[in-house]
Amino acid sequence: MSDGKLTRTIARFQAKIDSGSYYEAHQTLRTITNRYVKSKQYQDAVEILYQGSIILTKNKQYASSSDLISYMIQVYIEAGITSQNKEAKLKLIELIGALPDTEKSLIDLSKQSLNWSKVDNEANKFGDCDLHTLFGTKLLSTVGSSDDPSKLFAITELHLILGNHESLPKYVDFLYDWYLENPTVDAGLFLSRAVINYSYLKNVKFVDECVSRYISKLKASNAKFEQITHNELSIDFFPEHPLLNFLQLLVATIHKEDSSNKFYGLYNEYKGDLEEYGIISSVEYIGKLYFGLNLGKPKGGNMMANLLGDFFK
């Protein structure tokens, strides 16, 4: 399509939008796009959908804009355009990022986008980390106002842990704020989510950073602590938060390849706390993952894979 033809198509679309004929404009643009897809003029089809989505979003026609974004992903797939195409990915991120965080189609768009991003992407079998960060960030802001916050947070949390480095502070800060709403509970309970999730992924760098950030925030709140050495491992010891102490020792242990005995000792020492807070199975799996230990009842499969099993369906 020539630049002039594209400009005229978008101008006619804009005129219908300006007159308030939103549905007609949306359907007309879809019809035009269909023609280009059938003739395999994919780049033209993508550009029409891209421009149309921008205009619809500016006019607060979010459902129609989401529909065009969804169609654009379908065109990407048919055209063999993968997430390795930086321009294509950035277009998608821009359009989705412009939608309000409360847009109901975000979860469906996340599944569609991430399934697309897994195509020919051996480096990340769970989908593009930038897309995960985008969806995790947008959904996180609406968890508190959701009709089903537990379900929405479970989806949001998966996005955050599979996201890029920008996800980590948002995730940790949310967990810390969650603790502040429940100050009588061991602060380690909330941090354990991040430690366990990143440990499952063997992302030890992120494990370290989430613990450091969380504990820095706790120290700033004037929580009681002292620096101690436990089995040659140095930690900030919080007498009122045994689970938090365990997590620090756990993280220090998984850094050392030949620390199965230390891990087993920690497991036995804190077993009561792990059972009390319902994370013993997760810790046992970490023991198997890092040290080949078979603790507790046998568990089948990969726990992270199990968590993600239904997400991309």
Q: Residue 309 pLDDT > 60, yes or no?
A: no
Tokens of 301: 């499969």
The reply to whether 57 falls in a domain is no
Mean pLDDT value across residues 160-180: 96
Tokens of 56: 């619809």
Q: How far apart are CA 220 and CA 181, in angstroms?
A: 17
Q: Residue 37 pLDDT > 80, yes or no?
A: yes
**Torsion region of 239: left, alpha or beta (phi above 0 gives left; psi -120 to 50 gives alpha):** alpha
Mean pLDDT value across residues 184-196: 96
Q: What residue numbers bound the domain in which 203 lies? A: 170-304
Of how many residues is the chain composed? 313
Q: Which residue has the tokens 């890029």?
A: 164
Angle of helix 260-269 relative to helix 280-291, nearest 10 degrees? 170
Give the 3-state secondary structure of residue 137.
helix
Would you say the C-alpha torsion 140, 144, 146, 148 has a positive or negative sign? positive
Mean pLDDT value across residues 25-32: 94
The reply to whether 108 falls in a domain is no
The reply to whether 15 falls in a domain is no
Domain count, the chain: 1
Q: Residue 55 pLDDT > 80, yes or no?
A: yes
What per-residue confidence (pLDDT) applies to 231? 73
Tokens of 34: 């269909």
The reply to whether 223 falls in a domain is yes
Element (H, E) at 141: none
Q: Which residue has the tokens 């309970």?
A: 189
SS3 content of the chain, % helix, strand, coil (to 5): 70, 5, 30
pLDDT band at 2 (very low <50, low <70, confident <90, very high): low
Per-residue pLDDT reduced to its tens digit, 206-252: 999 999 999 999 999 988 999 888 777 788 999 999 999 999 999 99
Mean pLDDT value across residues 116-144: 91
CATH code of 176's domain: 1.25.40.10
The reply to whether 251 falls in a domain is yes
What per-residue confidence (pLDDT) applies to 137? 97
Mean pLDDT value across residues 191-213: 96
The reply to whether 283 falls in a domain is yes
The reply to whether 95 falls in a domain is no
What per-residue confidence (pLDDT) applies to 304? 62
pTM, to two decimals: 0.91
Q: What are phi and psi of 205, to 5 degrees?
A: -60, -45
Q: Report the mean per-residue pLDDT for the chain.
A: 91
The reply to whether 196 falls in a domain is yes
